[in-house]
Structure formats: structure tokens, C-alpha cells
């Protein structure tokens, strides 16, 4: 497997048109707009799967995340990236994706065009690639408490929280 910092990613404009490709390392260093996916994993009880990222992550190490997800590889579709991330991070396969929204996010550390998906899942979880170090299923009320207590990824909050309003209405 290729070193993550050397993986190629598509650099896109605000309308999601590919401009060129560069390495993930270059994208991070220059805060270039790229594609990303966010997947809310919800069980039949309506609980959301949240997870803590590894201390080895290149951005926001050890922070908590509202969704499985990550950077879309060069030439990869959003759907394929979402399915890949589900398998790599928590061992979920064979589930249908429901697209919940598309948008952009930018701050001083990241700039992206993203798509948010949801999957319903009640099966076993397997932390495969070392990117996830802790997982927790939370209810809507528990999530509000966790958001007040812990650091969560700002891009994940921007994409997943509005999507949860559709799920939990």
C-alpha cells in the first residue's frame, strides 16, 4: 500500500471541476481544495456511530469524528470512496449508501468539496487500518453532550450535523 502522503488526489474548483492532481502531502501543505466523503453510520435504534481518530493522523489527530470518511483519491468517485472508507475504517461492507447532501467547507487547515452519505448498519465493526482507535454508539441526546465535552472535526460537524437533522427529525 502506498504511503498516504504520496497518494494522488484531485484538486477541484468550488464547482467540483477537476483542475489537476497532486499528492496528499502537497494538498495538505498548501490547503488545496479537494474532494472528501462523510458517512453517518446509524443503527436500527437510531444511534450514530462516532469514533476517535488515531494520534498518527495528518490532520486533527486524536479528535473525534461524527462520520466515517476521508479524502477521495484521484479519479475515484464519491460513492466508491465512501464504500472504501467504510471498509477500511470500520469493516462495513455490502450496505447501500443514501446521499444526504453536497457542499463545500474551508478553514485555515482544509478546503474541500464534500458529499455526505448515510448507511444503516447493525453488524459487527472491525477497526482495520489503525486510523480509528475508539468507537461509540450515541443517541441524539448523548451526541449533544459529547459535542460539548470533546473536540470533533469541524468539517465533519459542518457536513454530518445538518444531515442528522434529516435523519433524526
Domain spans, the chain: 4-159
Integer CA distances (angstroms), 49 to 64, 86, 90, 113, in order? 11, 12, 10, 23
- Alpha carbon 11 to chain centroid, angstroms: 17
The predicted structure's pLDDT at residue 57: 85
Integer CA distances (angstroms), 119 to 8, 74, 122, in order? 27, 24, 10
The predicted structure's pLDDT at residue 166: 80
C-alpha 56/C-alpha 93 separation (Å) is 25
In 3D space, the residue among 60, 42, 45 whose CA is nearest the CA of residue 150 turns out to be 60
The predicted structure's pLDDT at residue 1: 45
- Please give the CATH number for the structural domain made up of 4-159: 3.90.79.10
pLDDT under 50: residue ranges of the chain:
1
Q: In this structure, what is the dihedral angle of CA atoms 13, 108, 151, 24, given to the nearest 10 degrees?
A: 50
Amino acid at each position: 500500500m502506498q504511503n498516504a502522503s504520496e497518494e494522488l488526489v484531485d484538486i477541484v474548483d468550488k464547482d467540483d471541476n477537476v483542475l489537476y492532481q497532486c499528492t496528499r502531502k502537497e494538498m495538505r501543505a498548501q490547503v488545496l481544495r479537494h474532494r472528501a466523503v462523510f458517512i453517518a453510520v446509524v443503527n436500527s435504534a437510531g444511534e450514530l456511530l462516532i469514533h476517535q481518530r488515531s494520534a498518527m493522523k495528518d490532520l486533527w489527530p486524536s479528535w473525534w469524528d461524527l462520520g466515517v470518511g476521508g479524502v477521495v483519491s484521484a479519479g475515484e468517485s464519491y460513492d466508491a470512496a465512501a464504500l472504501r472508507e467504510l471498509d477500511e475504517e470500520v469493516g462495513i461492507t455490502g450496505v447501500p449508501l443514501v446521499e444526504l447532501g453536497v457542499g463545500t467547507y474551508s478553514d485555515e487547515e482544509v478546503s474541500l468539496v464534500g458529499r455526505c452519505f448515510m448507511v444503516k448498519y447493525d453488524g459487527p465493526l472491525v477497526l482495520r487500518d489503525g486510523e480509528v482507535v475508539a468507537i461509540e454508539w450515541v443517541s441524539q441526546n448523548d451526541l449533544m453532550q459529547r459535542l460539548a465535552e470533546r473536540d470533533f472535526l469541524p468539517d465533519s460537524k459542518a457536513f454530518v450535523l445538518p444531515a442528522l437533522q434529516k435523519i433524526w427529525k
